[in-house]
A and B are shown apart, each in its own frame.
Chain A
Amino acid sequence: ILNVEQSPQSLHVQEGDSTNFTCSFPSSNFYALHWYRWETAKSPEALFVMTLNGDEKKKGRISATLNTKEGYSYLYIKGSQPEDSATYLCAFIERLDTGNQFYFGTGTSLTVIP
């Protein structure tokens, strides 16, 4: 069983604070790493698709970095807003002969307090 671990499990921050989460994954058979944002009562939506070691992606106040050699990715949120409240999932994509497999972490639940 392939383990993808996310920490912390949950997080409460004040509006305006910056925060970050970690996704740890195996360093072998790496193909890609995804971050998804999952709002309550909705379906997960992709934030970032990262494929190369050293990748840094940014979308507004949210950014992510990737280290495939040591098997981790960080997601940063600068100046958190209440609308950032959601569960953030990472997915490790393993390359297999049968096709790519997606392994999801259990997510980090972020609550931004106004």
Chain B
Amino acid sequence: DSGVTQTPKHLITATGQRVTLRCSPRSGDLSVYWYQQSLDQGLQFLIQYYNGEERAKGNILERFSAQQFPDLHSELNLSSLELGDSALYFCASNPFLAYTGELFFGEGSRLTVL
């Protein structure tokens, strides 16, 4: 158990809909990362938050947005969903910005868009 909690574990929805994925980082970790893993793809970095502020953006679509709340949990909002958005979405955390140590991953939220 990494200490990172993601909900829901599985989600099935239709094209055009909007969903919210939630992540609670490890206790004390200030930095939260979101990754997308599509079929046959590696982990694609979406966005990073640190202590409530956005710090870096990767290949995140404009239809997607995220935020980190004062209690440090984070939400990834996916809207106007398309079939190609079906993927496993991982959240990971680590203590602080300059930390060279490992990322701690949640178990992922599997999104299926029909």
Contacts and interface: CB of A to CB of B under 8 A. Distances in A.
A109 to B, nearest CB: 11
Give the bracket for the number of chain A residues in contact with chain B: 20 to 34
Contact of A101 (B45, B106, B108): B45
Contacts of A89: 42-43
Nearest to B31: A99
Contacts of B103: 34, 44, 46, 91, 102
A49 B2 CA distance: 16
Looking at chain B's contact residues, the main secondary structure is: loop
A91 B102 CA distance: 10
Contact of B106 (A43, A51, A106): A43
Give the bracket for the number of chain B residues in contact with chain A: 20 to 34
Given A43-B108, A99-B56, A99-B97, A49 B42 contact: no
Nearest to A103: B45
A93 B108 CA distance: 22
Contacts of A59: none
B61 interface: no
B36 to A, nearest CB: 11
Nearest to A32: B100
Interface of A: 31-32, 34, 36, 42-46, 49, 51, 89, 91, 93, 95-96, 98-107
